[in-house]
Amino acid sequence: MRELTYAQALREALTEEMERDPNILLMGEDIGVYGGVFKVTEGLMARFGEERVRETPISESGFIGAAVGLAMMGKHPMAELMFMDFAWVAADQIFNQACKMRQMSGGQVKVPLVIRTQQGGGRGNAAQHSQCLEAHFAHIPGIKIALPSTPSDAKGLLKQAFREQDPVVVIEHKLLYNTKGDVAEQMDPILFGKANIVRPGRDVTIISYSRTVLHCLEAATTLAAQGVDAEVIDLRTIMPLDMDTVLASIRKTNRAVVAHEAHRNAGFGAEIAARIMEQGFQHLDAPVERVGALDVPIAYSLPLESATLPSPDKIVAAARRAMRMEA
Amino acid sequence: MGLTTEQLKDAYGRMCLARAFERKCEELFMQGQVRGSLHMSIGQEASAAGTALALRDSDLLITNYRGHGHALAKGISPRAAMAEMLGRVTGCCKGKGGSMHWTDMSKGILPANAIVAGGLPTVVGAALAGKLDGLDRVAVVFFGDGAANQGATHEAMNLAAIWKVPAIFICENNLYSEMTPIGKTTTNKDLAERAAAYRMPATIVDANDVEAMHAAVSEAVTRARRGEGPTFIEAKTYRLVGHMIGDSQIYRSKDEVEEWRAQRDPIRLAGDKLIARGVTRAELDAISAGADATVADAAAFASASAFPDVSEIFVDVFEHNALN
Ligand SMILES: Cc1ncc(C[n+]2csc(CCOP(=O)(O)OP(=O)(O)O)c2C)c(N)n1
Ligand SMILES: [Mg+2]
């Protein structure tokens, strides 16, 4: 084991996968000589050449569409979308094209395409560069969604993304790139649809993914000091969604909090809460609590942005409500 | 059509203001007071000043994340702009937008955009609105060479052409889109070639020469006001600093930057012209000192201003405030 940053772990996954499969090629803005604005692809152009690491114009619709064509014809492209917020620029190619081709063609084509992107607030990037949009992807059938929270998961999930034969979006978080963690030298891909219990506990289940998992762990520490033993589940992928792990936990704790950084309204937490209600209603001792960003665009000014985004404190408060404890 | 000496002094002052303002922002960014990403337009000030001098207050401007110079030249309050950089309630967007979204509708400055090419379709509508209302108002959009490769750019240019709207598309070609040189993203030698596809008149201008820039925009404005439709201006320029603070600039040589700085700095070029016209060095120094004083005043104003109250989160989301 050694410590790697999240960005290094992603780079290692890309390197290993590109060594393994000559059909993998990367494209995106500034990913070549510069190595990407978050430096994830640093050195890859020098190693794999300009054919396989392609710097694109600022044409998200164009190059993601081109990736769909490559994928249909036997390549395994990865398109880097610099900020999740730009997914809407490429929305047709992602949602009408990539997600639909297999089914529309009656299974004659497949689209093994990986989109890597990053999302989230906390840096003062304001409303057009801070959003979390995983629920938009989850709403459209035909694409798998991974949201790694640690360097090790980043490596394992990205490696798996290249083993999938369908479109996958790997959603990173801009504030995770410099976080460090142990990453095994020899690492198998992490299968999609297998949640990770990152902290076992008896009293309340806190379900999350991506950077918010770190907030949940902090919240769990605070809760422990208050006599509440929280179990924290990192879903890792939300499509597919591992409800078995969630339900098994709730059978034990009888209480649940769902936390993510995306807006609460119609966020993916609503889907999880609904499924818990459908599949585990009898195990619940309290309504499922949801924590997410307030339903307003994310402002630039620090106090406004901080108050808009979820925090460990808000997760603690939600867990206490689920425990029927005083606020 | 050149500028009068008075106009050229005015342009010089606006360029000095933009430069001093952004240098101050850089300092505040390094201190952690300016958040997010800071994209400076140092080296591109003549494009902003030349354009603004050709416009009326009532004309419209849509710029992008590299638009501080454009908005300052068009008359945004330096105090409100600096307060915005610091996220204060007295900012031009009440601290909600930050560096990339400056707005001042009283000066015709529509919200600046952080989505590359996001402003091009909207400028078509903004220009059309004036035409529908029988006004001779013109709408200008600034975008980069990189933005020229977005689909939205082409849809917007075609719409502008068929509807003959009074829009001016100013493509600031600074040779790089972020960290990628233009040779890697287009086979066109000049981006003005793109306008021909939409049969839109186009000019190429040395945008480090404020007089040339002013002349090109003035001609486009005249055409637009006469109802003759849109113009594409390729403003050839160069940014003397990184794409954003923290850009290592490994994608271009120090010599290249140094050559532009030494030979083509637009503020120096305008200063040289003024000197040639008999303006004294002392006068020039007084103009730039005036800009520095304006920025110092703006910074003091901004630092003394309060942050917005957290309740502001729910304000400005809808006509009637957001519910949560
Ligand atoms: C749709 C979209 N894609 C990518 C980006 C990230 N980005 C911000 S500025 C920029 C480069 C733009 O280059 P150019 O249009 O030449 O303008 P310049 O910054 O050089 O003024 C990029 C890629 C973005 N903001 N929006
Ligand atoms: Mg550029």
CATH of the domain at B87: 3.40.50.970
- The total number of structural domains in chain A stands at 2
How high is the pLDDT of residue A326? 86
Picking from A183, A218, A250, the residue at the C-terminal end of a domain is A183
Asked if A245 and A278 sit in the same domain, the reply is yes
Residues B107, B74: contact at Cβ < 8 Å?
yes
Which residues of A are tagged catalytic? 60, 129
**pLDDT tens per residue, range B53-72:** 999 999 999 999 999 999 99
Inter-chain touch B307–A128, beta carbons under 8 Å: no
Look over chain A and give the mean of its residue pLDDT values, rounded to a whole number: 98
pLDDT surpassing 70 at residue A51: yes
Assess if residue B177 is contained within a domain: yes
Assess if residue B131 is contained within a domain: yes
**pLDDT tens per residue, range A128-174:** 999 999 999 999 999 999 999 999 999 999 999 999 999 999 999 99
How high is the pLDDT of residue B11? 98
Q: What mean pLDDT do residues B84-109 have?
A: 98
pLDDT surpassing 80 at residue B321: no
Pocket-forming residues, ligand 1, beta carbon under 6 Å: A 29, 58, 60, 82, 86, 89; B 66, 114-116, 143-147, 172, 174, 176-178, 243
Inter-chain touch A302–B184, beta carbons under 8 Å: no
Assess if residue B320 is contained within a domain: no
How high is the pLDDT of residue B1? 60
Strands A237-239, A144-146: pairing kind? antiparallel
Q: What mean pLDDT do residues B144-169 have?
A: 98
Q: What mean pLDDT do residues B297-318 have?
A: 97
Asked if A14 and A161 sit in the same domain, the reply is yes
Q: What mean pLDDT do residues A95-108 have?
A: 98
Asked if A110 and A234 sit in the same domain, the reply is no
Assess if residue B310 is contained within a domain: no
Asked if A22 and A158 sit in the same domain, the reply is yes
* Crossing angle of helices B45-53 and B210-225, rounded to 10°: 40
Asked if A91 and A9 sit in the same domain, the reply is yes
A307-310 CB contacts, 8 Å cutoff, 24+ apart: A307/B310, A307/B313, A308/A121, A308/B313, A309/A121, A309/A122, A309/A261, A310/A212, A310/A215, A310/A259, A310/A260, A310/A261
**pLDDT tens per residue, range B5-57:** 999 999 999 999 999 999 999 999 999 999 999 999 999 999 999 999 999 99
CA distance B155 to chain A (A): 13
Pocket test for ligand 1, best of B113, B177, B180, B182 (most atoms within 8 A of CB): B177
C-alpha B299 – ligand 2 centre gap (Å): 28
Asked if A141 and A166 sit in the same domain, the reply is yes
Stated pTM of the model: 0.97
Half-sphere exposure of A226 (CA within 13 A, CB side): 19
C-alpha A137 – ligand 2 centre gap (Å): 31
Inter-chain touch B95–A300, beta carbons under 8 Å: yes
Assess if residue B206 is contained within a domain: yes
How high is the pLDDT of residue B297? 98
Q: Would you state the structure tokens that stand for residue B121, as one six-digit string?
A: 């379709």
CATH of the domain at A26: 3.40.50.970
Q: Would you state the structure tokens that stand for residue A200, as one six-digit string?
A: 């076992």
Angstrom CA distances, A192 to A147, A164, A170, A317, B35, stand at 10, 9, 11, 31, 36
ipTM value of the model?
Answer: 0.95
**pLDDT tens per residue, range A264-286:** 999 999 999 999 999 999 999 99
How high is the pLDDT of residue B132? 97
How high is the pLDDT of residue B324? 52
Inter-chain touch A294–B324, beta carbons under 8 Å: yes
Picking from A136, A161, A183, the residue at the C-terminal end of a domain is A183
Asked if A129 and A15 sit in the same domain, the reply is yes
Would an 8 Å CB–CB cutoff place A197 in contact with chain B?
Answer: no
Would an 8 Å CB–CB cutoff place B116 in contact with chain A?
Answer: yes
Asked if A127 and A104 sit in the same domain, the reply is yes
Q: Which residues span the domain enclosing B162?
A: 5-303
Would an 8 Å CB–CB cutoff place A66 in contact with chain B?
Answer: no
Assess if residue B315 is contained within a domain: no
Q: Look at A190 and B320; give whichever has higher pLDDT.
A: A190
pLDDT surpassing 70 at residue A247: yes
Assess if residue A327 is contained within a domain: no
Strands A168-173, A180-183: pairing kind? unpaired
Picking from A160, A183, A206, the residue at the C-terminal end of a domain is A183
Assess if residue B277 is contained within a domain: yes
Counting ligands in written order, the one closest to the CA of B48 is: 1
* Ligand 1 atom closest to the CA of B182, numbered from 1: 16
Look over chain B and give the mean of its residue pLDDT values, rounded to a whole number: 97
CATH of the domain at A282: 3.40.50.920
Assess if residue A42 is contained within a domain: yes
* Crossing angle of helices B281-304 and B5-30, rounded to 10°: 40
